Amino acid sequence: MEKDNNENGNLQQASSQKNPAPEPSGADNGKAAGSSSGPPNLLHTIFILILVNFLISMITGIFAPGNIHTDYSIFLKLVESDNVARVQIEAESLYYTLRADADLSEVDSILYPEGRGNSAAPGTDSRFSTTRIDDPALVERLNESDISFYAPRTRNSPILNFITSWIVPVIIMYFLYTFLVRRMMGRMGQGGAGSIFNVGKSKAKEYSLE
């Protein structure tokens, strides 16, 4: 009887060495899940947001109506011909529009004295721009032609605009996304993570005869 017990023990020991007990299924899966479910890299998030903003700006720039750029001398001729309605004065540029009753044939001849070619014909809704030069008599010219003019409000610093337009939204979105990811992972860790990664695995345990 004692000999049989010794033989059974040796057989069980040999089988346990050939087929070692599997490790708990939740340990490795928990490590793998924790290593791959962390928040994304901040640099990757910033790069994606900058790329999205660039694409949006490019698309809106394509579909937005453009300005017809003219020489300053052309601008003065249009002012003298009483075809300009309004002028926006900026530090380096002037933007102007035509009157509703402007003589388009005259405007066309001033804009394209040598022929328009493939250029589109100007309309009363067309917008024009020209590079501003040092002209002390500009305001007097506009007043004599009864043209309304204005200057936009002073813009903020380019650095401040960059911070408010890019840095602040990126930081807010990053922390919001990180908070949501951590909250989701916390809920999964309370009971959902183990069950998700252990679906379909047997819960049977191996017991020795001893």
Same domain, 125 and 172: no
Sheet holding 68-70, edge to edge: 68-70, 127-131, 93-98, 84-89, 148-150
Is 6 part of any domain? Answer: no
Is 203 part of any domain? Answer: no
Same domain, 80 and 133: yes
pLDDT tens track for 165-174: 777 777 877 7
Same domain, 137 and 177: no
- Banded model confidence at residue 183, pLDDT cuts 50, 70, 90: confident
Is 15 part of any domain? Answer: no
Is 9 part of any domain? Answer: no
Same domain, 123 and 78: yes
Is 184 part of any domain? Answer: yes
Is 205 part of any domain? Answer: no
- Total domains in the fold of the chain: 2
Whether pLDDT at 12 is above 60 = no
The pLDDT of residue 154:
64
The pLDDT of residue 36:
47
Cα distance between the two ends of the chain: 16
The pLDDT of residue 177:
79
CA–CA separation, 8 vs 1, rounded Å?
Answer: 11
The pLDDT of residue 30:
47
pLDDT (mean) for 126-152: 91
Same domain, 75 and 109: yes
For the chain, give me the number of helices (H) and strands (E)?
9, 5
Domain of 136, CATH number, reads 3.30.720.210
Regarding pTM above 0.85, the answer is: no
Same domain, 90 and 112: yes
CA–CA separation, 44 vs 30, rounded Å?
Answer: 25
The pLDDT of residue 156:
62
Same domain, 75 and 129: yes
Range of the domain at 129: 65-152
Question: Amino acid identity of 152?
Answer: P
CA–CA separation, 178 vs 161, rounded Å?
Answer: 25
Is residue 96 within 8 A of residue 87, CB to CB? The reply is: yes
